[in-house]
Chain A
Amino acid sequence: MVPLSAYLLLSGILFACGVTGFLIKRNVITIFMSIELMLNGVNLSFVAFAAHWQALSGQVFVFFVMVVAAAEASVGLAIIIAVYRTRETLNVDQVNLLKL
């Protein structure tokens, strides 16, 4: 059997990739996809712990995380469309209306 630490290592790698993409990417859609990558890394650790402790509640929490991710993606992409209509760009460096 694959130990728990291997799954946690993979989860951490995916989360780190998500954080890196969130920080270095300039396209707002790619930043959103990095957030989804982070959520998936956390989901993998949830399922790994659920399998390790034989507790199915972790899998239910993964379901809830997926629901929240779906809501976040729909609202966020609608915001991206609205921003694109007014600013005509997807580059986060040029969406600086709130900057002093």
Chain B
Amino acid sequence: MLHWVIFLVFGAISVAASINLLAQRHPIDSALSLIAVLASLAVEYLLLGAEFVAAVQVIVYAGAIMVLFVFTIMLLNAGEEERTRGSRVALLFGVPGMLVGSILITWILLRYSDTQAVSVGALPGTPTAIAPLLFHDFLLPFEVTSVLILIAIMGAVVLASRETLPPAKEGRQR
């Protein structure tokens, strides 16, 4: 029952945020919606017992990759200029929605209070269980991904560096 409630709540959040990603016209709004999708998916991973994947999802995806996205949007000053009138929507729907959500969560927790807390190592996908797979069975792909990340770093630096101005000017003739 509690599994279903958590699955439905965070699944609805992720679906609504992904639809909001499509509906928004400004890239920064889409990026914030994507962060909501990633965070709610981390809860779904936790529900499935994948502790390690949920932590990596929050740290790498919702942290590092989305910082890259937001940084690029800010750097390029992306998006059309439009007046922000989202604050009234947030006041009308966000605050009551948050209130109802917190009341619902509190009610569920009080109603099903016999569900004891889950300790950190109780789920199957702990880092202790992932580590032998990652560093023994999948050692070669793991090392290959480190080379891939290194190549990606160098490629990003080469592509985004401004040092090659004269060839860029030559290439600008359209």
Please determine whether chains A and B interact with each other in the same assembly. Answer: yes
By a beta-carbon cutoff of 8 Å, the part of chain A in contact with chain B is 1-2, 6-7, 10, 13-14, 17-18, 20-21, 24-25, 27, 29-30, 32-34, 36-37, 40, 43-44, 47-48, 50-51, 54, 56-57, 59-60, 62-64, 66-75, 77-82, 84-86, 90, 97
Given contacts A2-B7, A71-B152, A74-B156, contact A29 B171 (CB under 8 A): no
Pair A20/B125 contact, Cβ less than 8 Å: no
In the complex, given contacts A37-B37, A71-B152, A77-B156, what are 6 additional A-B residue pairs having Cβ atoms less than 8 angstroms apart? Answer: A7-B44, A56-B129, A59-B50, A66-B57, A81-B76, A82-B160
- Closest chain B CB from A9 CB (angstroms): 9
Q: Point out the residue from A17, A50, A51, A86 that lies within 8 Å of B171, measured CB to CB.
A: A86
Residues of A within 8 A of B57 (CB): 43, 66
Q: Which residue of B lies closest to A66 (CB)?
A: B60
Give the number of A-B contacts (CB < 8 Å). 177
